[in-house]
Structure 1
Amino acid sequence: MASPHPDPRGSRDTAPTCRWCRSTQGDVVLDLGDQPPADLFPAGDDPGPDPVHPLRMWLCASCGLAQLAEDPTTPDEPRGAEPQALVDQARDAVARVEAAGLVPAGGGTVTEFGSPHGGSWLDLLAGAGLAEVTDGRPADVVVDCFGLMHEADQREGLAARAAATAPDGVLVLQFHTLAAIVADGGWNALRHGHFAYYSTPVLTAMLAEIGFEVTHALLFDLYGGTVLLAARRTGVPGPRDEVSVQTQIEREEGVGVRDAGVVAALGAAADASAGTLREHLAERRDAGRSVIGYAAASRAVPLLNRASVGPDLLPAIADGSPGKWGRRVPGVAVPIVGPEEVTRRAPDEVVLFVTDLLEEMRTRLPEVEAAGGRWVVVDPTVRVAPPRRT
């Protein structure tokens, strides 16, 4: 679970201390200035002003972990609706974990460290013969899908997951790899409450420090590059795929995930994508074209604030999570509405802030394209989706 306590290092005036190795040597590789918390969606009638805090990514020169330089916010993220892409990826991941021999034959136990972004593997793993641990005992399989990043103290967070793993058990960690973030210019992956941004070589080394050896590295297309690492305590026998691990490490080292100069290119990507989004929406407004957004995801918050996009350019954002309806995007006051508003408004464009939702939303809202509208994907660069093939 994410720590409920604010990060005590929440100041630009204090040198960051690595959340893993405690080093103070490193570089700020992305500075988005003062931003509202991406997990705070105020009520629609809340006049503000909304609180803002520094939002910076710091790359530790000692261990290579990319992380929030500071975060004085208190996590308060409404649980999101689970995208179909995440459901499909979970099904694929569990099937591949089973195929790799990482699930005990004849049944066993499982503990899951959850994420506020929605989704769970427990039902899928129950189908594979694993029963959830409810009494605190170590489990044969421990699963963390996008959960560890929410731990302000990374050493404590990883230690808790290791302690939950039985002596001969398997620890499974899934994360959006920094290599994909850098390669895609995905600067808006940076947000308050997401304390760490992992690469395979760095997380492999972190696991080794606590006595775990990575045995498998599985790569998925989700979010442009999601990696699943499976690890056992060093020396414990079990299935291994050293080739997959070494291949993924070499691939990500080749991208430059430890190089502050390479990762710092995210700053230029932030300027370019925010400017392009604002220009696109301004052109549509001036041309009299109607627009609505979709997916009030936390990654949309820094993008809209960086681009200074308010209701004059984006009248509303629809979202599938009822907990966000009637609220607004912090900092820019764009109202959040239910999905039915997309159909009611019949917009010329639907601006989608999560790329992986495109095919799902086309299926759920075919009337957009049937009426001559189009989908525009912004994650974080702007592109018009070509017409769907029939």
Structure 2
Amino acid sequence: MDAASPSEVRVPGDDPRALPVRCRWCGGEQGTVVLDLGDQPAADHFPPVEDPGPDPVHPLRMWQCAVCGLAQLAEDPTTPEEPRGAEPAAMIAQAEDAVARVLAAGLLPAGGGTVAEFGSPHGGSWLDLLAAAGLTEATPGSPADVVVDCFGLMHAADQAAGLAERVAAVADDGVLLLQFHTLAAIIADGGWNALRHGHFAYYSVPVLQGMLEAVGFEVVHAFLFDLYGGTVLLAARRRGRPGPADPVSVRSMLEREQAAGVTDPAVVARLEEATRASADALRERLVELRAQGRSVLGYAAASRAVPLLNRAGVGPDLLPAVADGSPGKQGRRFPGVPVPITAVDEIDRRRPDEVVLFVTDLLDEVRGRLPGVEEHGGRWVVVDPAVRVVPPRTGPSPT
């Protein structure tokens, strides 16, 4: 097997896997490890490219609570330090769609109101969109008519404290909007590499509904989007408060996810099989390309690519570089494997035979931004996490 990474070092101290796991939401200690990726570097730690390592590694396991059903990180001794990513066009479009649908559902206060937003290190904000709908940003510390959390709550190590903070920010007659990548989609897509340090919780609609009910809120609307294979937005109010509601959307979403087995550890544990399939397939393809003398680069230094490259044992001998639009990541490298991160224009300069894309939702955006890949006979290969070659365009490139 090819050498793929600088030497790794286990962090000092006792192995946290020897300690009992306690649920980050309900405090329960009964549960099941449904996915174990072994020792992995922190997925938000991108060292400078000149840093030879070794990189610290930590256990990376998903544990599902038998009491409340929340899938979560079993342990995480890492310190968050993720460089803020560039916001993909797909996420911008989804935010616009979400605000339009929330507005159409009558969930925003008529005649204006206030809004507070809990941000995410992944970038993106709904504040400008909500300002266009007549809302103004609430004074810090004051309750808001609308509280938005887009992929933020998952970053709270203490889920009970994180949800309590958001609930406290909602005015008495206000609405809480929570958006998340649903566990149902992760299971359906075999998206095991959604598991990463710093992402403490992996929500499903039934579980998050139960969490909200425990703090006196009821889910009144549920929206589903294609982003990341399945992104859900739940709207919730304090129990008994009047306002628009769509119980059919909530009930259908609950039934859909319960049928998918999101609270069944045996179903969630199928992600373990998906790790081998996607990691092995990626490595086999890159080895084949090297044997054929064909050049390859990657695109999108996403956190989800970190466990994938490490699990597959892919270093710069197989993947010379990954381009990324975030200036904060350029000039750095992947942890665990010293694959450098470059500016996007390196793809046009090097003209690779194939470009491996690690975030499927970026495909339309990057094809439009980098038409030269296909104009020069190159191909896009999507890994998120399944590996597939994207068919070439049949018409002219978009302008």
- TM-score relative to the length of structure 2: 0.95
> Residues 14-163 of structure 1 correspond to what in structure 2 (within 5 A)?
14-163=19-168
Deviation at 1:136, TM superposition (A): 1.4
Asked if residue 381 in structure 1 is aligned to residue 373 in structure 2, the reply is no
Query: Which whole-Å CA distance do the structure 2 matches of 1:129 and 1:258 have between them?
Result: 39
Asked if residue 303 in structure 1 is aligned to residue 311 in structure 2, the reply is no
Q: Given the alignment, which residue of 210, 228, 233 partners 2:233?
A: 228
Q: Are the equivalent residues in 2 in contact too, given 1:9–1:71 (CA < 8 A)? A: no
Query: Which whole-Å CA distance do the structure 2 matches of 1:93 and 1:234 have between them?
Result: 23
Q: Are the equivalent residues in 2 in contact too, given 1:27–1:58 (CA < 8 A)? A: yes
Q: Given the alignment, which residue of 258, 261, 279 partners 2:284?
A: 279
SS of the residue 1:350 aligns to: strand
Query: Which whole-Å CA distance do the structure 2 matches of 1:103 and 1:9 have between them?
Result: 50
CA distances 1:308-351 after superposition (whole Å, capped 9, x unpaired): 00000000000000000110000011000000000000000000
Asked if residue 212 in structure 1 is aligned to residue 217 in structure 2, the reply is yes
RMSD of the TM alignment (CA)? Answer: 1.0
Amino acid in the other structure paired with 2:23: C
Deviation at 1:10, TM superposition (A): 7.6
Q: Given the alignment, which residue of 254, 263, 273 partners 1:268?
A: 273
Unaligned runs of at least 5 residues, structure 1: 1-7
Question: Runs of at least 4 residues of structure 1 off by over 4 A?
Answer: none
Deviation at 1:389, TM superposition (A): 3.5
Q: Are the equivalent residues in 2 in contact too, given 1:10–1:70 (CA < 8 A)? A: no
Deviation at 1:9, TM superposition (A): 11
Asked if residue 319 in structure 1 is aligned to residue 356 in structure 2, the reply is no
Give the length in aligned residue pairs: 383
Deviation at 1:134, TM superposition (A): 2.9
SS of the residue 1:296 aligns to: coil
Query: Which whole-Å CA distance do the structure 1 matches of 2:240 and 2:140 have between them?
Result: 27
Amino acid in the other structure paired with 2:145: D
- Note closer, same or farther for the CA distance 1:249–1:47 as it changes in structure 2 (3 Å cut): same
Amino acid in the other structure paired with 2:209: T
Query: Which whole-Å CA distance do the structure 1 matches of 2:137 and 2:388 have between them?
Result: 43
Amino acid in the other structure paired with 1:68: L
- Note closer, same or farther for the CA distance 1:114–1:279 as it changes in structure 2 (3 Å cut): same
Q: Are the equivalent residues in 2 in contact too, given 1:112–1:122 (CA < 8 A)? A: yes
CA distances 1:96-134 after superposition (whole Å, capped 9, x unpaired): 000010111100000000000010000000000010113
Unaligned runs of at least 5 residues, structure 2: 1-12
SS of the residue 1:175 aligns to: strand
